[in-house]
Amino acid sequence: MNKTIAVLVGSLRKDSYNLKVAKVLEHLAPSTLTLKIIQIGDLPLYNEDIDTDNPPASYTRFRQELMTCQGVIFVTPEYNRSVPAVIKNAIDVGSRPYGKSVWGKKPAAIISVSPGAIGGFGANHHLRQSLVFLDMPTMQQPEAYFGGVANVFDENGNIADKSKSFLQQFIDAYAAWVQKTA
């Protein structure tokens, strides 16, 4: 059966490489998966005071969208060797109210994307720490540290073949992971 997979992109930049990679993954996804990029840039910084009686509409919208998805892919840059605040904030919003987390048991995968040589390794692994606590079975292999991303798109936005096959391998492995765990 086809599963809807939330894609969270950790950059809000219009010309974001991470967004470009997320869009390529959308196209490469096998027919068992429908990838859906979920907006996280409009979520106010998590604050229990504003979440108590009348949560912001964006919190409600985000939680409802996540509830309709059967898995999550994180496509994230690395900021200062860790996860950008927008990703961590989205995780925090989705984890509350206490006992109503949207994350539990959803199969996850992480791809970190950077122009740098080590492909956002630090962000990739810091993110895994939260996913353990959130009880998300997270794909281990293939590890996906997408470095040198500034050199893989041509002027028309097409991605180089080698990178495309890496992303194909990643999304196919994730589809198998979803099959096994969801």
CB 102 within 8 A of CB 64: no
Site for ligand FNR (CB under 6 A): which residue of 2, 60, 68, 81?
A: 81
Site for ligand FNR (CB under 6 A): which residue of 70, 101, 114, 138?
A: 114
The window from 44-52, 55-63, 73-81, 174-182 that contacts ligand FNR (CB under 6 A) reads 73-81
Nearest approach, Cβ of residue 45 and ligand FNR (Å): 16
The window from 63-71, 78-86, 92-100, 102-110 that contacts ligand FNR (CB under 6 A) reads 78-86
Q: Does 78 bind ligand FNR (CB under 6 A)?
A: yes
| CA–CA distance, 149 with 93 (Å, rounded to integer) | 29
Q: Does 115 bind ligand FNR (CB under 6 A)?
A: yes
CB 21 within 8 A of CB 13: no
Site for ligand FNR (CB under 6 A): which residue of 16, 32, 39, 130?
A: 16
Give the x/- contact pattern for ligand FNR in 30-69, rule: CB under 6 A. ----------------------------------------
Q: Does 70 bind ligand FNR (CB under 6 A)?
A: no
Q: Does 157 bind ligand FNR (CB under 6 A)?
A: no
CB 6 within 8 A of CB 87: no
Q: Which residues bind ligand FNR (CB under 6 A)?
A: 11, 13, 16-18, 77-81, 114-116, 120
